[in-house]
Structure 1
Amino acid sequence: MEAFEQSLQKAKQFLTQGNFSAAEEQAKLVLSDDANNLDALKMLRQVYVKQELLFDAYSIMQQVVALEPSLDMQYELAIICTQIGKLTEAKDLLESYINHNPNNGFAFLNLGHMHKAFGDFKRAEKCYFKFVALEPRRVGYALWNIADLKDRKITDKDIVTWQEYENDDNQDYLSKLLIQFSLGTVLEKQKKYDEAFEYYQKANNSKNKASPFNQNAFHQFVNNILKQKAQESVAREVNVTPIFIVGMPRSGSTLVEQILASHELVNATDELNFIGHTAATLERTGNYAKAIANLSEEDILTLRQEYLAYANEYQTSTKPYFIDKNPLNFLHIGLILKLFPEAKIIHTHRNLLDNAASVFKRYFYIGHDYSYSLANIVTFMEGYAAIMRHWEFEYPGAIFHSQYEALVESPREKIKSLLSFCQLEEQESCFTFHRQKRAVLTPSVDQVNKPINSASVNSWLRFEKGLTPYKSKLNHINEVLLSLGKEPYKSAWDSYWQQGNITSFGADLSDNYQGEIALCWKDFFAVIPDKHRVLDIATGNGAVLELGLKYILNENIEMVGVDSAQVASSNKGYTLLSEVNVEKLPFEHDHFTEITSQFGIEYSDLAQSMAEVYRVLQPGGRFQFICHAEDSKIVMNNRKIVDCSRELFKFGGAFSALSDMLSELNSKKLTGYMNEQNAESKRHKLNNELARLLEAYGDTLHETRIPELMRMVLQADVSVEERGDIMKSYFIEQSRAIARLEDLMRAALTDKKLHAFRNIAQALGFTSILSTDLVEESFGKIGVVLSGIKPLP
């Protein structure tokens, strides 16, 4: 056997074993001696296709066709063109192929896809029916696409014919499955929603059995992602900026892509797999989060270059922005921002009831095993929402959240916000994106060729009966998504102060401001002379000013409190101002003689806020702040509450288990039937989760109010609607509480922050700068007292 034959035989064996690098090496060894060896080129093409290196495969196939311009080779080149977005070339190749070989049904099927992508639905339909004639055992492959065509009128006679196809035992498995999805689609178009749902259910049940979703593996994967922490990234010289559009499939991502791609500075690419493949490689180390954290500078630069080169293959011109529209990249936002801190991340989401229905009706050719069961869709959505909430916490302000319903209601306003986030100037083409002639291969091809409309809003109601058992849980998950990108800390404090709380602990003044705190403020206020002006920063509803009224010895004192949140109106003896930024105070220079703050100023950017304190404080004036400290009993106790709450609300945690159990109870109320085995399994899971939390956190669990919630929702006389309202209210209030406590922990002064504060104060010119621990003997460390004086000229 000649050497090149041995190398090709080895390459074939390596390819079979999945050793792609070795197979590539053997094929290239042959080509190094004979650059035009067709067998080696074809082997190399297979190696690249297996690795999804489709542009490399395209390059090789061009050489093959030049050497062997046969119909078969042209057809293979056409298929690769369809996979890399070279749709015009693919269409031309397929038409040429069909002219010489009109008996290949799959050539017509693929040509139909090309016509559909370009919006030529009539020609697409003809190609699909040609496939039906040529491939009678696989008619479902074409019917699935025919059912989805714009303006295609399906008659009752068509439906009868399709039903006959479904009952034809000669149809292969995939064809029969696609026929069922197709019948669901056409019956839905005829507004026969119950019949349509039956076909969707039948198709999904079949696919779910063939490709079961591994919930345990998904739970583990999600909870591993939730352990990832924000990674510091190095600012880099940027020539091109990637825009990642992420979220659930069928959430409006194609619409947002078309809006952005209509801008003259933005290229569209495809749903690129590079990030997912990179993540899979890192995950194989056994610890995905650790692998990301351990990426060296060299690793990062290499991955950046490889990704940009990969994405560049999909672009026909050089522009400063390009779009990667792989929705499942939401799983890897931590990795994306590690590699590309300059990236723009757009998260698209819509009403999850509509989203769930849309996913359930769709057949995905690759992956998405969760999508073939409504219960699994809900599980996946719960994990997705938990991940997006996690990224929002770790990377505040880095993600733009585009809600489909809001975009439909106020398109111009929301498109302006979208462009602003991407740092793109407004262009009219973005508002009239549907007039742009651009090929679209996703199922949304019809929708994006029309102006934005509300046709799909509340479309889940067509299948209300089937979705009702999941309605309550999906509504809870919706609340998570709707809270994203809406200044969670500010809104949480707005709500808190508007409830009339006087202190940041939720109790009355005497319960929380006794002992050392009271003495600290008494010493400060008691020596304030007549006609002085006091400013209290981050005042809330004026707790410190209330103490001031109690301890000030002179009546002629002006007191003003400011807060960035919406707080109560002014009280007798002092004035409260809402929505005031401490980093930009609305007062004249040298206006106040004393400035105070309790558990407030540390929430701000200290460099900016202290500069403002210096500006508005008179020479000779004093400041005194009581601040949270990282090692204080308050912070440590609240950290335990937050940790317990996170465990309670984690993906698959106790709150989720309670929601699942209530779904069974609701089903019994609505239908009179409950699967006792399922109900017992979910009850058992809930009890296990609660026992685990109780063991780990003890009485802290009661701070989450979960026992109180359970007493309320498990009462026999509570209606389904009341249960839903109670669960929603609890989730909102607890989310706000968690946001406040997370804000507190972020703000708490560490030794490093305390050192920085002293340096800032000294650099501004303050003197007599002191920091003293505030300790209550019966409680422990409360915080740290900071004070100083603005010197006289």
Structure 2
Amino acid sequence: MSTKHTSQANQSFNEACNGIKRLIQQAKFSQAIALCHQQLAGDLTNDNRVEILYFLVVAQRLNGDLGEAIESNKTLLEANTKHARAWQENGYLYLAAGKPQQAAQSFYQATQLNPALLASWRALVPLYQQQENTKAVTISQAQIDYLSGLPNAVLGAKDLMYEGNLHAADKVCRQFLQANKHHSEAMLLLAEIGIQLKVYGEAEFILSSCLALYPEHKTAGIVYLQLLAKMAKFSEAKALADTLLAASSDNVVLLSAKASAMVGLGEVQEAISIYQGLLQHNQNQPGIQLLLGHALKALGDLPGAISAYQQAYRYKAEFGDAYWSLANTKTYRFSDSELASMEQLVTQQSIGLDDRVHLHFALGKSLEDRGSFDAAFSHYAQGNQLKQQQINYNPEVFERQVAKQIDTCQAELFARLKEAGEQRADPIFIVGLPRAGSTLLEQILASHSQVDGTMELHDILGLASKLQGQKNQYPQVLTDLEGSYFARFGQKYLQDTQVYRAGAPFFIDKMPNNFLHIGLIKLILPNAKIIDARRDPMACCFSGFKQLFGDGQEFSYGLEDIGRYYRAYEKLMAHWDTVLPGFVLKVQHETLIDDLHGQVQRILDFCGLEFEQQCIDFHKTERAIKTPSSEQVRQPIYRSGMEQWKHFDTHLSPLKKVLNQPK
């Protein structure tokens, strides 16, 4: 369809929506219903169809056609499980049907998806009063008081944000702040919108300004802590938590945030002590149980981690992340009763989207372990499909990023700036795709006496993000910067990563996504070493597809998407080999497994390190490991995972097609 025709279709649809809304406002419900059906009979996009279905449900309910409204709303929720106002309509329909328990569940689900839905909070208060649930009444009333006290523009922007209309929310919020420059809630909201838009640098500045103006604003402090953790600024997060705890020493959220930052800094045992202290007062804190499990797993205490994860789901039966965390140990095997519980939970309409996603991935792993590969793939596919609804990944965006790197980072750029960067050779970068064997390489190198193991450091990604904000944008800006900048960037990187080191001459920066920024690394740290963790394309891509990542890796939730990402990665790595010959060492995972001694010697030679036997005995090295492969690298080398994808061969045609593999 041409741009002109698309514009005309959009205009026609918008006019129809406005007409339906006017009819509903005028209480002409039958006419509104007829116009909805007329629209639904046409060729609509899924989003437009969802919008018309919502109008239809409202009109049918107000017209007293409860049976039809229930069916229409069921269709709506099947099309979009995250539609907060559809859940609100569910609440009204259950109320009309005399089912207060189901009504309360629906209104609650609406508020979880869109906490700015004042009508749902107000509907919940009398329902919770009937249930004599005083705690829930208090929480609901507090939210009503808070939302009612917001200026209309801020409340409207909040609603837009929760509905996913981020750019519209950003515009409304900025317009309000122009007239009300230092309004605390508007500043906080603008930062929250920025976080969702992934404009982290601006969000950080807004939150720090908000706290400078309103140091006792607890919500701003907590959101700032969450952002610092997301940016992996753990040292800053710990310092901020300590500052906020000075005024509220027993605040559970602040204490757990401090502990999470300490895990990020490698102070894992101290973090575990904080979590255990919080649980001494109240075991019924599933979120804390989960965080304790993560910390114990990082430390290598797998039985303790398993116990904590099990406690988490015992206190919160539908806690999908607890089940997934058990599956994500890669060694845990679910009992028949646990499997039955997960299968029953995932069918419940009241289960939230995040829990449902986690449950599908956990079920996939459990059924794969039992050899039920078709059923396992069904759950992996459903989990990935639901995850895609949350992220809206577009593979063309990444492919354009790769093209820009290739266009910008040519040999003459590196020749011109070969002396510009910081000359120290401390860092060893490990890059590649997730699930390609990077954690194994990290464990091998971290076993060497001259090398500090750290964790997945975000510093290069952070620098690239800051450069992206430049007028000329990244990576194009690299050709225009004065040479002195590159040494300063390299020195800043070494300074900021010092907190993760333990005194060895070299340290590892294992962030797989850094392969996109090898040109930047060469310019700021020309003597650094880079190792590319490479794995068979089918094995690597399918392993990523069945992995639910904590954050990022949006490309991994579709077989075609992950295949396109892999091809773009291969193309870029070939470019780096051409313009920076010898700068990157490719280590093939399958070759490493077949010839451990020879490949370890090759890696150490590349890094300028003497051979040490403990690099071969890497599984005996005790250190905190936070990645999904933590338990695998605490075992001797094994081959069992190399061809697991072949059990799912019949389901992988979309991936094979992109990778040009035989069908």
Q: Into which bin does the TM-score normalised by the smaller protein fall?
A: 0.5 to 0.7
Task: State whether residues 333 and 369 of structure 2, in contact with CA within 8 Å, keep that contact through their aligned partners in structure 1.
Answer: no
Match of 1:163 in 2: 343
Change over 3 Å in CA distance of 1:117–1:338 after alignment to 2: same
The one-character-per-residue Cα deviations of 1:391-411 (angstroms, maximum 9, x if unpaired) are: 110100110001000000000
Q: Alpha-carbon deviation of 1:63?
A: 3.8
Equivalent-residue separation in structure 2 for 1:207 and 1:136 (angstroms): 21
Q: Distance in 1 between matches of 2:513 and 2:225?
A: 23
- Residues 1:146 and 1:81: Cα distance change in structure 2 (over 3 Å): same
Paired letter, 1:417:
R
Alignment CA distance shift 1:412-1:11 (3 Å): farther
State the alpha-carbon separation in 2 of the partners of residues 266 and 313 from structure 1.
15
Task: Supply the AA of the counterpart residue of 1:97.
Answer: L
Q: Which residue of 1 aligns with 2:189?
A: 16
Aligned to 2:577: 392
In the alignment, structure 1 residue 76 sits paired with structure 2 residue 249? no
Q: Is the 8 Å Cα contact of residues 331 and 631 (structure 2) preserved in structure 1?
A: no
Instruction: Show the 5 A alignment for 1:566-605.
Output: none
State the 1:468 CA deviation: 4.2
Matches within 5 A, 1:531-542: none
Separation in 1 of the partners of 2:620 and 2:650? 38
Q: Looking at CA atoms only, which structure, 1 or 2, has the larger radius of gyration?
A: 1
The match for 1:380 among 561, 565, 573 is: 565
Aligned to 2:143: none
Kept after mapping to 2: 8 A contact 1:269/1:324: yes
The Cα shift of 1:257 comes to: 0.3
2:427 maps to a residue whose letter is P
* Structure 1 residue 94 corresponds to structure 2 residue 280: no
- For the Cα contact (< 8 Å) 2:235–2:265, is it kept in 1? yes
Preserved CA contact (<8 Å) 2:430 2:530:
yes
Paired with 1:383 and 1:286, the residues of 2 have a C-alpha distance of: 24
Q: Corresponding residue for 1:204?
A: 384
Say if 2:233 is the partner of 1:50. Answer: no
Q: Does 1:172 align with 2:352?
A: yes
Deviations along 1:271-309, one digit per CA (max 9) or x if unpaired, are 112211222232343442331122223322332222112
Task: Give the secondary structure class of the aligned counterpart of 2:629.
Answer: helix
SS in 2 for 1:445: coil
Paired position in structure 1 for 2:146: none
- Alignment match, 2:618: 433
Superposition deviation, residue 438 in structure 1: 1.4
C-alpha contact 1:352 1:475 (8 A) present in aligned 2: no
1:623-667 Cα distance to aligned partner (Å, 9 max, x none): xxxxxxxxxxxxxxxxxxxxxxxxxxxxxxxxxxxxxxxxxxxxx
8 Å contact 1:254–1:444 — kept in the other structure? Answer: yes
**Partner SS for 1:346:** strand
**1:412-561 to 2 correspondences below 5 Å:** 412-471=597-656, 473-474=658-659
1:211 to 1:157, Cα distance in 2 relative to 1, 3 A: same
Instruction: Give the residue type in structure 1 aligned to 2:273.
Output: D
Write the deviation string for residues 541-585 of structure 1: whole angstroms up to 9, x where unpaired: xxxxxxxxxxxxxxxxxxxxxxxxxxxxxxxxxxxxxxxxxxxxx
Shift of 1:319: 1.9
Q: In the alignment, which residue of structure 2 is the partner of 1:280?
A: 465
AA of the residue aligned to 1:412? H
For 2:284, the equivalent position in structure 1 comes to: 103
Contact 2:402 2:568 in 1 (8 A): yes
Structure 1 residue 26 displacement after superposition: 6.2
SS of equivalent residue, structure 2 residue 533: strand
- 1:619-638 correspondence runs (5 A): none
1:344-359 aligned within 5 A: 344-359=529-544
Residues 636-655 of structure 1 correspond to what in structure 2 (within 5 A)?
Answer: none
Q: Shift in Å at residue 84 of structure 1?
A: 3.6
Structure 1 residues 8 and 433, CA gap change in structure 2 (3 angstroms): farther
Aligned to 2:320: 140
Higher strand share: 1
Paired position in structure 2 for 1:131: 312
**Using the alignment, how far apart are the partners of 1:258 and 1:310 within structure 2?**
22
Q: Is 1:140–1:177's contact at 8 Å kept on the other side of the alignment?
A: yes
Distance 2:627 2:181 in 1: 38
1:322 is paired with a residue whose SS is strand
Note the 1:230-379 alignment, pairs <5 A.
Answer: 230=411, 231=414, 232-234=417-419, 238-239=423-424, 241-284=426-469, 285-315=471-501, 317-379=502-564
Stretches of structure 1 that go unaligned for 5 or more consecutive residues are 1-6, 31-37, 477-719, 722-793
State yes or no: 1:225 paired with 2:225: no
**Contact 1:352–1:474 (CA under 8 A) maintained in structure 2:** yes
CA distance in 1, matches of 2:552, 2:383: 16
Cα distance between partner residues in 2 of 1:426 and 1:247:
24
CA contact (8 A) 1:54 1:84 kept: yes
Letter in 2 for 1:59: A
SS in 2 for 1:342: coil
CA distance in 1, matches of 2:552, 2:571: 21
Distance 2:395 2:219 in 1: 40
SS of the residue 2:652 aligns to: helix
Alpha-carbon deviation of 1:221? 1.7
Change (3 A) 1:12 1:306: farther
Q: CA 1:236 to 1:289, structure 2 compared with 1: closer, same or farther past 3 Å?
A: closer
Q: Which residue does 1:528 correspond to in 2?
A: none
Equivalent residues in 2 for 1:735-774 (5 A)?
none
Separation in 1 of the partners of 2:212 and 2:390?
A: 39
> Taking structure 1 as reference, are residues 127 and 286 closer, same or farther at Cα in structure 2, changes over 3 Å only?
same
- 2:346 partner amino acid: E
Distance in 2 (alpha carbons) for counterparts of 1:321 and 1:304: 15
Is the 1:125–1:146 Cα contact (8 Å) retained in structure 2? yes
SS at match of 2:216: helix
Instruction: Measure, in 1, the Cα distance between the counterparts of 2:222 and 2:365.
Output: 38
RMSD over aligned CA atoms reads 2.5
C-alpha deviation, 1:75, in angstroms: 2.5
Distance 1:263 1:115, change over 3 A: same
Amino acid at match of 2:337: K
Cα pair 1:8 1:26 within 8 Å, conserved? no
TM-superposed CA distance for 1:242, in Å, is: 0.8
- Preserved CA contact (<8 Å) 1:187 1:196: yes
* Whole-Å separation in 1 of the counterparts to 2:400 and 2:239: 40
**CA distance in 1 between partners of 2:332 and 2:207 (Å):** 47
More helix by share: 2
CA deviation profile, 1:352-396 (whole Å, cap 9, x unmatched): 110011001011232222211111111111111110011110100
State the TM-score, normalizing by the size of structure 2: 0.66
